[in-house]
Structure 1
Amino acid sequence: MTSGAALSRRLGTFDAVLIGLGSMIGAGIFASFAPAAAAAGAGLLIGLAIAGFVAFCNATASAQLAAQYPTSGGTYIYGRERLGAWPGFLAGWSFVVGKTASCAAMALTFAAYAAPAGWEKPVAVAAVLALAAVNYRGVTRTARLTRIIVAVVLVVLGLVVVLGLTTGRASAGLAGADLFAGGPYGILQSAGLLFFAFAGYARIATMGEEVRDPRRTIPRAIVGALALVLVVYALVAATVLVVLGPERLATSAAPLVEVVLLADAGGAAPIVRVGAAAAALGALLALVAGVGRTALAMARNGDLPVWLAGVHPTFRVPHHAEMALAAVVGILVLTIDLRDAIGFSSFGVLLYYLIANVAAFTQTREHRRYARVLQALGAAGCLLLVATLPPASIVGGVLVVAVGVGYRLVRLRLARRADET
């Protein structure tokens, strides 16, 4: 239970890819398309392509850095090693607060599909506590449960695509739709919101201390998981747009269920609800694991309370960090709105990847796997998408970053005074 205790390397490439898939699919398919359609209409397809390209650039940076620094913490560690303590802290803080909001969003998504009316908030809190308990028992159990969840979700998504594209309404939704009706700002805002759906591959890098042969496994897993998710997102986005249309999609609380109902296959609606609930659970499961490990790395360096660096002596997981995370997410579930959480999360994650791209740009030739132009494009893309997020998300994100900066300044000042006495 000491702060310097190491985690156990138990994950291979297949399990690492599945953890990335579980992180991304749950967030993207069932939570991001409606707000993206509200911002850009049918132009969300262009936004999806932009978000996917920025995510690819970021993925190459994360893969290259993770191969050189195969330890828990992701860009928090990379920023410290390549750029200095402050950039590393900003990356870690942005990741922790953004992904804590994502945890709450996924818990609420699960409850929206699985809970009886009026019981959504209590069920969401129960889901957070249950999955924190799963992670507490060890990372191999996390990977095993993720395998089941990803399999269920992919089957359900395949069913939705087949039913949607074979119904007689398979082109009605896009009749007369203009891909550019939302204008450049709307399309870029949809890309920023959809980026929320691609951020799961970072979970693989943050678990670098638990992956076997990390220099080989992590780059393969990150790029492989992202490529698979891009294909799935494109198919599902096209299906919901051609069946529902951008206006109906923008206001839908459960667009995939509506696709099935319009296809006169109402009997499949409960199956889709099960798949949605499973997807949200998969995302939440991996999010808890990733945030806990970044908090562990920050606590090891004193950027968060040292108590959070505790590693369980039997299960070799950061159990203090995960217990604290479960408590904070439970409070957020009771107080926040799902759509607002998506924008706030995107703000934090885009800042995180901005630092990742800058850090990767500084790597030497011996550690370089991809051209520097990809990191330059990734950094520019992150800045552009942050600037076009909803104003409330930007203001909230700036305030929370300021709180983190203030916390670290106070801690450093107190440490300096202690050294002087």
Structure 2
Amino acid sequence: MASPSLQRRLGLGDAVFIGLGSMIGAGVFAVWGPAAAAAGTGLLIGLAIAAIVAFGNATSSAQLAAAHPTSGGTYAYGRAELGPWWGFIAGWGFVVGKTASCAAMALTFAAYAAPSGWERPVAVAAVVVLTTVNGFGVTRTAGAARVIVVVSLGALAAAIAAAFSAGATTGWLTAETMWTGGGYGILQSAGLLFFAFAGYARIATMGEEVREPRRVIPRAIVIAFLIALVVYAVVAVGVLSALGPAAVAVSTEPVADAAAGSGWAWIGPVVRVGAAAASLGALLALIAGVSRTTFAMSRERDLPGFLDRVHPRTHVPLRAEMFIGAVVVVLVAFIDLRGAIGFSSFGVLLYYFVANVAAMRQHREARRYPVALQITGAIGCLVLAVTLPWQSVVGGVVVVAIGVAYRGLRLRFARRR
């Protein structure tokens, strides 16, 4: 095996598609129901709040990536700018939370693509196939991401065209419907919608594999974010216009239901294909991102050192990818995590809070964006974390506490040796 270093093979387009594959995930087909239940039409305000917070996080990640073009994302940035413990907490929350998200996304894909009773075997097969694709090299990952994103966006475009063709409901955009859930409901919807934009972290975690990273990564993060924002805004208006906030709030498949009003017989299968493809795209990018953060943490011995090896031919962290894939297969085979990963949300907010604080600490010569954006991102992460359901907060705190205990014991044993 070669020394633990990766090769720079990704260009701007590759990085953008990997980010979009994470952001245009299955959530765009399903998140509108919970968001409308929390805030009614006010989810549009929630989307704007989520976008502001996410833009602060995105610019912080871009600024940090330009200064630290290495694998691991905020784990590496936190270590470099704030110290090892900050980096570890961000990395630990990301790896544990997003590994659970991988399992949830695999099961979501199977729910759309598998015949009844075959969901778990199909989900396991999806994890194995995508882990194998990632193992063939980062250019294969980028190529697969391009195909999946194009299919997902094509299905979304058809669905929203169908929704608009069905004609708009009346009275869906009023002061009353805008404040259905009050301020707290709007913040809850913002918390739900925030995670639509979190995929730009996948670009940063792969920073050691991007060509001209100081130029490409910041541009890719901002471009992917802006494209995703436009997509989510158009889908939100289309779904609310076709169904109205009350119907959206009780729908489990709001995009499909909005499109069904058109009477186009073929639109249902198209939406299912799009949702399945979006799930695969998110899963592909998640496995790649989590394995790179695992690789970076292993290289610093914050995770077991045997995971820091790079394959000499494909130049990917193959052991880390296989390890993450194996863990996800076990989770998919035995546990349904689709409704039980609230701590993942907490972990993502903690991850970006550390990113914003790290960006605030950078020297003036490294600064690309106003510090006000980093302050906005940090405060926004804390506010959205507080408005999560209490079970999510408790689960997140428990996960962080386990990680802190693990690292503390490892450091104690290392000192004794």
| TM band (smaller chain) | over 0.9
- Matched residue SS, 1:218: helix
Structure 1 stretches lacking a partner, 5+ long: none
The 5 Å alignment of 1:126-205 reads 126-168=125-167, 170-172=168-170, 174=172, 178-205=177-204
Deviations 1:375-407 (A, max 9, x none): 011100000000001111111111111111110
Quick check: 1:75–1:356 contact (8 Å CA) kept in 2? yes
Size of the aligned set, in residue pairs, is: 415
CA–CA distance in structure 2, aligned partners of residues 184 and 57 of structure 1: 21
Quick check: 2:107–2:336 contact (8 Å CA) kept in 1? no
- Matched residue SS, 1:340: coil
What root-mean-square deviation, in Å, do the aligned CA atoms of Structure 1 and Structure 2 show?
1.5
CA–CA distance in structure 2, aligned partners of residues 110 and 66 of structure 1: 31
> 2:208 matched to which residue of 1?
209
Deviation at 1:174, TM superposition (A): 2.3
Deviation at 1:144, TM superposition (A): 0.6
Deviation at 1:156, TM superposition (A): 1.2
- Matched residue SS, 2:199: helix
- Matched residue SS, 1:7: coil
Amino acid in structure 1 at the alignment position of 2:294: A
Deviations 1:250-305 (A, max 9, x none): 33332222122122112121111111111110111011000000000000001001
Deviations 1:228-271 (A, max 9, x none): 10000000011112222333323333222212212211212111
Closer/same/farther in 2, CA of residues 340 and 237 from structure 1, 3 Å limit: farther
The question of 1:221 aligning with 2:220 is answered yes
Quick check: 1:36–1:189 contact (8 Å CA) kept in 2? yes
> 1:110 matched to which residue of 2?
109
> 1:335 matched to which residue of 2?
335
Deviations 1:121-151 (A, max 9, x none): 2211211111011101110000111111111
Quick check: 1:32–1:196 contact (8 Å CA) kept in 2? no
Quick check: 1:173–1:241 contact (8 Å CA) kept in 2? no
The 5 Å alignment of 1:289-300 reads 289-300=288-299
Q: Bigger CA drift: 102-111 or 132-141? A: 102-111
Deviation at 1:312, TM superposition (A): 1.3
Runs of 4+ in structure 1 over 3 Å off: none
Instruction: Give percent identity, aligned residues only.
Output: 64
> 1:38 matched to which residue of 2?
37
Q: Bigger CA drift: 353-362 or 100-109? A: 100-109
Structure 2 stretches lacking a partner, 5+ long: none
Amino acid in structure 1 at the alignment position of 2:145: T
Closer/same/farther in 2, CA of residues 35 and 339 from structure 1, 3 Å limit: farther
Taking structure 2 as the reference length, what is the TM-score of the superposition?
0.96
The 5 Å alignment of 1:171-320 reads 171-172=169-170, 174=172, 178-320=177-319
Amino acid in structure 1 at the alignment position of 2:296: A
> 1:47 matched to which residue of 2?
46
Amino acid in structure 2 at the alignment position of 1:195: F
Quick check: 1:173–1:243 contact (8 Å CA) kept in 2? no
Deviations 1:294-342 (A, max 9, x none): 000000001001111121121111111111111222233331342433x
Deviations 1:148-186 (A, max 9, x none): 111111111111111111213x22582766111112112
